[in-house]
Amino acid sequence: MRKKRYILTFPAKSGDKALSYHLVKDYDIRINILKAEVRPGKTGSLVLELKGTSENLKKGIAWLEENNVSCEPLNKKIHWNEQKCINCGNCTAVCFSGALKMDSNWELSFNSEKCIVCELCVPACPLNLFEIDFRE
C-alpha cells in the first residue's frame, strides 16, 4: 500500500457525481480528507491523503481527471528548526490540523503526519523557524 497526498480542484458543476464513493468502491482507495473548501456552484478544493496500491492510485487519479477534477501531488513539506524554537506557541494558534501542539511542559511538538502544509505557521512564527521544502 502506498500513501500519497493530492490537492484536488473541482469545477463549479461537479456536485452531480459521488467522486469519493467511486474512488473507494471502484479503485479500493482509502481517503483521508485533510482540508476541504467546497461551496455549491463554485470551484472547490480538497487536500486528500490517498492510500492504495500504486496501480489503483494511478487508475483512480486518471478517473478523476477524466471527470474534470484537477489532481496535483502535494510535494511540499514544512520543516521546523526545533533547536532555535523558544516555545512561544504562536504557531499553534493557527495550526487547525493539530500538527503543532504545546505539551504539558509548555514545549512545542510538531507531528509532520498531521501537517497539511497550509503554511499558516510560516508567518505566525516571530523567529521565522518554519520553511517550506518542495523536494519529494
The predicted model scores a pTM of: 0.64
Q: With 80 as the cut, is the pLDDT of residue 40 above it? A: no
DSSP letter at 44 equals E
Q: With 70 as the cut, is the pLDDT of residue 15 above it? A: no
Per-residue confidence (pLDDT) for residue 31, from 0 to 100? 94
- Each residue's pLDDT tens digit, 60-106: 999 999 988 999 888 778 999 999 999 999 999 999 989 999 999 99
Cα Rg for the chain, rounded, in angstroms? 17
Per the CB < 8 A criterion, the answer to whether 14 and 38 are in contact is no
Which of 125 and 73 is assigned the larger pLDDT?
A: 125
Assigned superfamily of 2-73: ACT domain (3.30.70.260)
Structural domain 77-133, CATH architecture? 2-Layer Sandwich (3.30)
Would the CATH topology of 2-73 be identical to that of 77-133? yes
* Every domain of the chain and the residues it spans: 2-73, 77-133
DSSP three-state, residue 108: strand
Per-residue confidence (pLDDT) for residue 16, from 0 to 100? 67
Per-residue confidence (pLDDT) for residue 86, from 0 to 100? 96
Average pLDDT in the chain:
89
